[in-house]
Amino acid sequence: MPADSAHIIHNNGIIGTHDPSLQRHIMFSVNLKTELTLFCSAWVLALVVGLIIGWPACTLLLFVTGYVLWQLYRMERVVSWLRSGGKAARAPHSLGLTDEIVQLVHREKKYSRKQKNRFRRSSSQFKSLAGSLPDAIIVLDNDFEIRWSNAAALLLLNIHSERDNGQRIDNLIRTPEFSEFLEEDTENAEVEIQRPTTADRILTVRKVPNVNRMTVLIAADITQRVRVREMRKAFVGNVSHELRTPLTVIRGYLEMLQEQDNLDTAVKDALREVSSQSDRMRDIVEELLELSKLEANPLGSNEGESVHMAAMIRTMVAPLEKAAPTHRFELELDDSLAILGSERELYSACNNLLVNAVRYTDAGTTIKVRWQSTADGMASYSVEDDGPGIELRHLPRLSERFYRVDTGRSREQGGTGLGLAIVKHAVQRHGGSLEIQSTPGSGSQFTALFPINRIVPALKKAANQ
């Protein structure tokens, strides 16, 4: 016999084994054996008595009727014991199969009691753990009604675990950005809001959707992080602003000096170099200032003017076609598609992508410029080239300030390293996003996607058709 199927004798007399299939079979046969032994002995006794008194058939009939009634009585006792709660102390004394039923009920009850205790223990462990977390955790059902919240939720969002249970969360946090974020269907969406009780703290709220048809919100206090971010922005903006005036003065004097006739060649060369470097500094300062402006609050949903993108793109491409006759431009522009926004910012974003497509590709490159609506009703501006492409490892960092793939080539071509950062922020200010795809050796595609609510009303219809 294998070690894992060794027999065990329980104190109730039932023979068990570790092998479940064997266990069932052996327990069944032992109980049945007891029942059969009892029945046969009584049957023989009834027959003997019947033969003695001369009525064997009647005695046997009487015995079988009695036996059936006795079985029914035993069953009834088990059933009424179960009905009254099946407590161990009140278990009916029985034997054979009914005893086995009683034992099985005992075992199941013991097991479920253990399970309940284990569940209670882990639930209270979870509650005390979640209660001690510094971040607020709120569990919402499908209708965004609060089902559970921890202690930090009271501190950060003024949501009380008992008082506010069953309330819709957007009735308690009443800001349009929060309501919009709640309805958003993207994974791990995030929103920054002010603390409802005191506006001096900034919170970030993250959403973990569809955990067993529940939504979990996690809110954290990021006031310190936001302050550092604001300080950095203000510092860069102020420094750029402060540099602007002295630079203008320097460039003015340089121009004056360059206009002098009696300069020898070495001085002229030096002045030309200083002048070109000061132009670079001016470009960087101007672009940093532009970025500071773009980093301000996003445009309101109704803010801006209707921008005819197709016409604007044509005015950008025309001078580039002249300046770079070695490149071929192919345009696919939807004239019926306009968006609501800042023309200056959109111009800057679109033009940066076009200039890059010329700047970082070689002669003979084809540049495809598209302005069209996407299958899901968004508006998309894309610039695709069949140039050298960019290695995958650079793509996530490409729109960071001053990040360049080839610093030498960028500087040589007059790049500041800020172009794509400006594009990203300009697009984000319009509620959109910048996507970059590239395959080394095959080319790159930069796509700015604008949300459906930016497409002006008359054209929304066209997008839905």
Chain positions contacting ligand ADP, by CB under 6 A: 352, 356-357, 360-361, 385, 387, 390, 398, 404-406, 410, 415-420, 444
Smallest separation, CB 294 to ligand ADP (Å): 14
Smallest separation, CB 327 to ligand ADP (Å): 11
Distance between CA 461 and CA 377 in Å, rounded? 10
Residue 192 is encoded by which pair of tokens? Answer: 């920054």
What percentage of the chain's residues is helix, strand, coil (to nearest 5)?
Answer: 55, 20, 25
Smallest separation, CB 226 to ligand ADP (Å): 25
In the complex with ligand ADP, the residue whose CB is nearer, 63 or 371, is: 371
In the complex with ligand ADP, the residue whose CB is nearer, 356 or 373, is: 356
In the complex with ligand ADP, the residue whose CB is nearer, 308 or 359, is: 359
Strands of 443-450's sheet in order across: 328-333, 366-373, 379-385, 443-450, 433-439
Smallest separation, CB 240 to ligand ADP (Å): 16
Smallest separation, CB 287 to ligand ADP (Å): 8
SS3 track for 179-237: HHHHHCCCCCCEEEEECCCCCCCEEEEEEEEEECCEEEEEEEECHHHHHHHHHHHHHHH
In the complex with ligand ADP, the residue whose CB is nearer, 86 or 417, is: 417
Smallest separation, CB 354 to ligand ADP (Å): 9
Residues in contact with 75: Cβ distance below 8 Å, sequence separation at least 6, in sequence order? 98
Name the residue type at position 260. Q
Smallest separation, CB 347 to ligand ADP (Å): 15
Distance between CA 133 and CA 207 in Å, rounded? 17
In the complex with ligand ADP, the residue whose CB is nearer, 320 or 459, is: 320
Smallest separation, CB 422 to ligand ADP (Å): 8
Return the residue nearest ligand ADP (CB atom): 419
Residues in contact with 216: Cβ distance below 8 Å, sequence separation at least 6, in sequence order? 137, 138, 139, 140, 207, 208
Distance between CA 222 and CA 210 in Å, rounded? 25
Distance between CA 24 and CA 15 in Å, rounded? 10
In the complex with ligand ADP, the residue whose CB is nearer, 164 or 384, is: 384
Distance between CA 44 and CA 72 in Å, rounded? 22
Distance between CA 62 and CA 40 in Å, rounded? 15
Distance between CA 140 and CA 168 in Å, rounded? 8
In the complex with ligand ADP, the residue whose CB is nearer, 78 or 320, is: 320
In the complex with ligand ADP, the residue whose CB is nearer, 191 or 294, is: 294
